[in-house]
Amino acid sequence: MSRIAVLIVAAGKGERSGRAKPKQYESLQGKPMLRWSVDAFGDRPMRVVIGPGQEDLYAAALPGFGPPIIGGARRQDSVRLGLEALAKDAPDFVLIHDAARPLASPQVIGNVVAALEAGAKGAVPMMAVADTLRRRDGAGWVTVPRDNLYRAQTPQGFAFADILSAHRQHAASDVTDDVEIAALAGLKVESVAGGETNLKVTTESDFALAEKLLGGESVTAMGYDAHRFSEGDHVWLCGVKVPHDQGLLGHSDADAGLHALTDAVLGCIGAGDIGQHFPPSDERWRGAPSWKFLDHAARLVAEKGGRIVHCDVTLICERPKIGPYREAMRVRIAEILGMDMARVSVKATTTEGMGFAGRREGLAAQAVATVRL
């Protein structure tokens, strides 16, 4: 079986998008665009090339994914550096994909792979131009015949050794994609069917279109949890260690915020509650960090083809004070779920001295999550 590696090129600045961050790190349906592009290739061996100074953005978009490759000044420089980083593993083929194309379908990817495995030195997805094209000519316009005009997409696939050699030989050339590099090296590249939805996100209108194309049914569910105070010097809330003159009693770390949110996420896909997946009678979960429970729920959502697009946690207690830790909690939840922090809300309230929370016997949390399926 052929060994195929994937190189995601995410080193651009994305200045034409008008966004605050490079576009590949901006959110689409609650998930960074770069993550959409990576997820499109499943579990294939993969590396990502980023721009200098983008390390923090990369870590937030793909927590735990592995070290990035630092790219160069031009796209072709970034690709060459990425190929050099892959050279030690010497795959048979490489798929080179722009991070700004987050909707690459399994069909388009499969078309490229099939061409390579059938003997092609290179393969590029192409779409025939359907619009009437006009070129400015002085003060007027001239219609350009659209016969034999095509739009090139990514991923562009190549025999690894051949495309690496081509990039090395023509590093001084100025090209727009890897097919041009291949052509300079005399490699024959075959065209395969592209996809109409495999758009390159560049402008604000492209973001809006990508959001629509990623649409689906939205399901919202809620969760609730409460824990009694006990001896201790801290509590865990929403994945953050908060100093306190008491602890919380529970089989795990008793993080009521993450427990409530886990139940809300599980509820969106009808997967029961946290106790069914992590029963307190099981000694494996004694003292366990609750982020593992939320991560498990998020993985179940992903297995069903869904994505968590928003979550909201309300902590109900008189003490400890939540305000100083609120932003850290939002950051931690966003890290666990792999989503934009802008889609994560953490709030706190008291019961005005009423009930068990008012008597400071314990605290509670309620959460709401929305999943798009």
Report the pLDDT value the prediction gives residue 140, as an integer from 0 to 100. 85
DSSP structure string for 154-165: S-EEEEHHHHHH
Establish whether the linkage from the previous residue to 91 is cis, with ω within 30° of 0: no
Tokens representing 331 are: 């950051």
Phi then psi for residue 68, to 5 deg, are -80, 170
Instruction: Say yes or no: domain 4-213 is CATH 3.40.50.1100.
Output: no
Query: What pLDDT, on a 0 to 100 scale, did the predictor assign at position 291?
Result: 97
According to CATH, where is 3.90.550.10 located in the chain? Answer: 4-213
pLDDT of residue 82: 97
The predicted structure's pLDDT at residue 170: 96
Q: Under CATH, which number does the domain 218-372 receive?
A: 3.30.1330.50
Structure tokens at 281: 């009678």
> For residue 16, what pLDDT is reported?
63
Q: State residue 47's pLDDT score.
A: 97
Q: Is the pTM of this model over 0.95?
A: no
Output the pLDDT for position 371.
93
Tokens of 189: 């590249």
Name the token pair of 22: 């490079």
**Which regions of the chain are under pLDDT 50?**
none
pLDDT attached to residue 211: 84
Strands 69-70 and 93-98: unpaired
Nearest to 287 by CA among 313, 319, 254: 254
At 320 the pLDDT is: 97
Length of the chain counted residue by residue: 373
185, 165 in Cβ contact below 8 A? yes
Q: Output phi, psi for 330, to 5 deg.
A: -60, -45
| Angle CA 11–21–103, to nearest 5 | 65
